[in-house]
């Protein structure tokens, strides 16, 4: 089983800025944490982060026929991107939406998630542990 872990804009800044919201763990540490859980579960994890919407669409499309699940934190594109929604719908790969914070309890503009409609589950407000939960969920499906 192969799972694609996608992170959207600014998530490469994890652990560097806004630790009160996103914590002190860096993006590299996050990938290492997920890799450890993937090893424990016996699944292959593939990582990709981009600040560019089209690059994330390309990564989702390239998963077609190749990966069994996607874990995605689309960052701010959660609240703006019909293109990411369409990409997840187009490939039909079981996808879990993850947010470190709970966007529903923050500014009103964070309440909309376009991608949610195409996802099998949303995990939010659980910190980085949410990514591990998403991985376990996809493995149990």
Q: Does 76 bind ligand CA2 (CB under 6 A)?
A: yes
What is the closest distance, in whole angstroms, from the C-beta atom of residue 72 to ligand CA2 in the complex?
10
* Nearest to 141, CA basis, from 97, 93, 98: 93
The binder of ligand CA2 chosen from 17, 20, 92, 108 (CB under 6 A): 17
Tell me whether residue 99 is one of the annotated catalytic residues. yes
Q: 94 to 123, contacts with ligand CA2 by CB under 6 A?
A: 99-101, 103, 110
Q: Does 78 bind ligand CA2 (CB under 6 A)?
A: yes
x-or-dash string of contact with ligand CA2, 33-72, rule CB under 6 A = ----------------------------------------
Tell me whether residue 114 is one of the annotated catalytic residues. no
The H or E element containing residue 136 is helix 129-140
Q: How many CB atoms lie within 10 A of CB 5?
A: 24
**DSSP, res 69:** E
Secondary structure, 3-state, 11-58: HHHCCCCCHHHHCCCCHHHHHHHHHHHHHHHCCEEEEEECCCHHHHHH
Provide the residue count of the chain: 141
Which of the residues are catalytic?
A: 22, 99
Binding site for ligand CA2 (CB under 6 A): 10-11, 13-14, 17-18, 22, 73, 75-76, 78, 99-101, 103, 110
């Amino acid at each position: 089983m192969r799972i694609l872990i996608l992170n959207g804009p600014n998530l490469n800044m994890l652990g560097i800025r806004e630790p009160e919201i996103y914590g002190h763990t860096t993006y590299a540490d996050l990938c290492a944490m997920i890799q450890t859980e993937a090893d424990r579960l016996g699944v292959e994890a593939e990582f990709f982060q981009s600040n560019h919407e089209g690059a994330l669409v390309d990564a989702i499309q390239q998963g077609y026929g190749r990966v069994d699940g996607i874990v995605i934190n689309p960052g701010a594109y959660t609240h703006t991107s019909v293109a990411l929604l369409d990409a997840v719908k187009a490939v039909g790969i079981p996808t879990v939406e993850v947010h470190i914070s709970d966007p529903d309890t923050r500014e009103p503009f964070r309440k909309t998630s376009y991608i949610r409609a195409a996802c099998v589950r949303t995990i939010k407000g659980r910190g980085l542990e949410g990514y591990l939960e998403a991985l376990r969920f996809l493995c149990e499906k």
